[in-house]
Homo-oligomer: A and B are copies of this chain.
Amino acid sequence: MPKLKDSTKEAQIRDAALRLVIRTGFNGLKMAEVAKEASIATGTLYIYYTDKESLINDLYHKTKQEIAAVVFSSDYQASNFYETFRNMWLGYYAFCFQKPEKMLFVEQFLYSGLIAEHIVQETEALFESLNQFLIAGQEQGIIRTLHVEIIKAHIQGSLHEIVKVLLKNKQQLADGELDQCFDMAWNSIRK
């Protein structure tokens, strides 16, 4: 019996690629560096991923899945729209702050044209229930009536940018500030 294909290794590779790619972009990402960062030989990379593109595509897919799992965590379900929204926003904020590479990576590649269309669509589908949630809020007259894609863009865009500023300045939000940030998000959409 031969050595068995190690499924840990695939995750190691993705972790390494993620760490490196956000610094340099797709074209700046060097497979040799990914290998070194993952502590394997270059050739081994190609046992797990046929080429750089497929590595990035899989990384995108898996990262989006992880984000969906965070946003839709069952812990966040509350009795009313506001509470649920608040839980989601805070949960996603915490995620972005703790794993900014994932936030940055996804942001960087969504509009890059490098992710295969079918993967983009599969991952968008993962967030369909978020759309449902927002539409329900609109129908109940809780939040403003505006195309949900724009609402999501508004919320996500501001959250991401805030996290980026904080990371750049190596700051953290005090509790009161965090509340204010959430307030900004909420005030912008509530009716």
Contacts and interface: CB of A to CB of B under 8 A. Distances in A.
A36 interface: no
Nearest to A146: B180
Contacts of A24: 25, 27
Contacts of A43: 2
Interface stretch (A5-13, A54-62, A151-159): A151-159
A7 to B, nearest CB: 21
As for how many copies of this chain the complex holds, the number is 4
A19 interface: no
A184 B2 contact: no
Interface in A87-111: 104, 111
Contact of A25 (B26, B173, B184): B26
A149 interface: yes
A181 B173 CA distance: 26
Contact of A164 (B26, B111, B155, B173): B111
Contact of A147 (B27, B144, B177): B177
A156 B38 CA distance: 36
8 contacts: A26-B27, A27-B27, A144-B183, A150-B181, A154-B181, A155-B158, A157-B164, A158-B158
Given A26-B27, A147-B177, 16 more contacts: A2-B41, A2-B43, A23-B113, A24-B25, A144-B180, A144-B184, A146-B181, A149-B169, A153-B162, A154-B161, A157-B160, A157-B161, A158-B161, A185-B188, A187-B187, A188-B188
